[in-house]
């Protein structure tokens, strides 16, 4: 599948639903910072109380993510970066969009496997998620890994928003594109802050007592 429509679907899926999912995810996680362990549990429960949640997950998260990710890797493969000769902000963003996309792909595959798929396999429940996160992010290596993954993903999201506005013909002139880039970078800062604050929140001891189940998973996650 190549050509105009494939690229348009790729671009549309980036906004609807993936951008909305990222925002939902950031807000849900932020409950860990705001409301601690109970707040996070409640937020997770709220999400799982949505009607037909498994279908939402399949059609609004997993399949769009799979198409966007795989087609995105193909787009990244096609690029021949030349920042050496054109050292401009836009050209850097062109490269960073592709690099961050690859990092985000690896990070998300790993992240979904170690959280949602463990629930699917019956190795954990939704209530264990906070404890599992605590176990991971209290280890410096994992914390750095999460930080890189989060920043790559949120940059890809925010810069992709900017590119969406261009490739659907919404921001046309240089001025419109400059202003939308300020707004998108603002979104990048805010969403990154939400995720980073929740990562720090997960390091809090209060998440530790739900982590017994994690010992059984340790072999899986490493």
Q: What is the binding site for another protein (CB under 8 A)?
A: 2-8, 75, 77-82, 84-86, 88, 90-91, 93-95, 163, 166-174, 177
Q: Are 199 and 146 in contact (CB under 8 A)?
A: yes
Give least dist CB 144 to another protein, A: 30
Give the span between the Cα atoms of 208 and 122, in whole angstroms: 21
Count of all residues that appear for the chain in the document:
222
Q: Are 101 and 156 in contact (CB under 8 A)?
A: yes
Give least dist CB 78 to another protein, A: 5
Give least dist CB 158 to another protein, A: 14
Pick between residue 58 and residue 70 the one whose CB is nearest to another protein. 70
Pick between residue 78 and residue 219 the one whose CB is nearest to another protein. 78
Give the span between the Cα atoms of 79 and 77, in whole angstroms: 6
Pick between residue 63 and residue 172 the one whose CB is nearest to another protein. 172
Pick between residue 39 and residue 81 the one whose CB is nearest to another protein. 81
Give the span between the Cα atoms of 154 and 195, in whole angstroms: 9
């Amino acid at each position: 599948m190549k050509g105009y429509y494939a690229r348009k679907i790729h671009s549309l899926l980036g906004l609807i639903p993936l951008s909305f999912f990222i925002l939902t995810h950031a807000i849900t996680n932020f409950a860990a910072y705001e409301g601690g362990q109970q707040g996070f549990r409640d937020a997770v429960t709220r999400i799982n109380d949505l009607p037909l949640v498994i279908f939402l997950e399949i059609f609004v998260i997993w399949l769009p993510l799979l198409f966007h990710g795989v087609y995105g890797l193909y787009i990244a493969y096609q690029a021949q970066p030349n920042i050496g000769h054109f050292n401009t902000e836009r050209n850097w963003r062109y490269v960073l969009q592709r690099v961050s996309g690859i990092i985000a792909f690896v990070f998300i595959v790993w992240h979904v496997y170690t959280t949602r798929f463990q629930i699917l396999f019956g190795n954990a429940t939704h209530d264990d998620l906070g404890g599992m996160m605590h176990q991971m992010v209290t280890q410096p290596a994992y914390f750095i890994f999460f930080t890189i993954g989060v920043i790559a993903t949120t940059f890809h999201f925010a810069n992709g928003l900017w590119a969406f506005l261009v490739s659907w013909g919404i921001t046309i002139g240089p001025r419109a594109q400059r202003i939308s880039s300020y707004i998108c970078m603002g979104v990048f800062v805010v969403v990154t802050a939400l995720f980073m604050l929740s990562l720090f929140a997960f390091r809090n001891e209060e998440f530790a007592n739900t982590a017994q189940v994690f010992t059984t998973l340790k072999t899986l996650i490493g």
